[in-house]
Amino acid sequence: MEMDTVFQTEMSVRRTFQDVVDAFKNSPRDYTPHRFTNIYNEPLVVHPDKCVAAFQSFGPKQETDGGSRPLFFLQLYRELDIHSRGVAVAIICKIYNKTYILAANTSGSLYFKQCEPPKAIEGKSNEIIFYQKRFSTGHRSFRFESSVKKDFFLGFNTDSEKMLVLKESSCVDVDETIKIFVERSL
C-alpha cells in the first residue's frame, strides 16, 4: 500500500513537471560572493534605494568601508525549454543586510527588487532572468542578455557616470561596454 502511494506521488510530480514546458527552476545555490567589473577594472556599485547601479572607482576611504560594498551572487536556474541563449541566472545583490535582485522590464529599464530569489519561475522569460554567455573564449568576461528583451545586454553608458543599463547589441558588433568581468570575491 505504501509503495503505491509513493509511486502515485512520483508520477503526479513527473506529470506536473512535464506539463510545465516553459519554466525555470533554481539550481543549488553557490554562496560564494562575486565581484563584477567593467573593462576599466571598476567595480559595480549599487544604490538600490535610488534604483541605480554604476561602475565606479573607489577612493582610499571607500576601499576599506566594507559595509557599503555590495556582495553579488549568481543564482543559476535550470530551464525546461531547450535553446542556445546561455545559462539562465539571476543577479543577486546583498547590501546593508538586505537582498535585492536585478530586474529588467520590457521597456528596457533596470531596477532592483528587494526579495529573495524564487525557487521556480513560470514562463519563457522573466524580469530577473539574464542569460550569461562568454564574451570571448579563454577570458573571465561575460555578456548578460535580458530574457525579456532579446539582444539587449547589461552594459554601461560611456559618459562619466558609467551607469548600468540595458544596451542593444548584435553578435556581429563587438561592443566592449557590454563586457562584464565576473570573479569570485574572497
State which residues of the chain have pLDDT below 50.
Answer: 1-21, 60-67
Q: What is the pLDDT of residue 70?
A: 85
* CATH for 46: 2.80.10.50
Residue from 104, 79, 86, 94 nearest 34 by CA? 94
Q: What is the largest CA-CA distance in the chain?
A: 70
- 39 inside domain: yes
- 32 inside domain: yes
Q: CB of 95 within 8 A of CB of 44?
A: no
- 7 inside domain: no
Q: What is the pLDDT of residue 139?
A: 72
Using DSSP, state whether 61 is helix, strand or coil. helix
Cell numbers found for residue 51: 534604483
Q: What are the tens digits of pLDDT across the range 24-63?
A: 677 666 668 999 999 999 999 998 888 889 999 865 444 4
Q: What is the pLDDT of residue 174?
A: 77
Tell me the C-alpha to C-alpha distance, in Å, between residue 108 and each of 53, 105, 120.
15, 5, 23
- 15 inside domain: no
- 40 inside domain: yes
Relative to beta strand 23-26, strand 71-79 is antiparallel
- 162 inside domain: yes
- 16 inside domain: no
> In angstroms, rounded to a whole number, what is the distance separating the alpha carbons of residues 127 and 139?
27
Q: How many independent structural domains does the chain possess?
A: 1
The range of the structural domain enclosing residue 75 comes to 22-184
Environment class of 42 (CB within 10 Å of its CB; exposed 0-12, middle 13-18, buried 19+): middle
Q: What is the pLDDT of residue 124?
A: 85
Give the DSSP letter of residue 96. T
* Residue 134, CB-side half-sphere exposure with 13 Å CA sphere: 5
Radius of gyration of the chain (CA): 19
Using the structure block, give the residue that is written with the C-alpha cell 546593508. Answer: 96
- 89 inside domain: yes
Q: Rounded to two decimals, what is the model's pTM?
A: 0.80
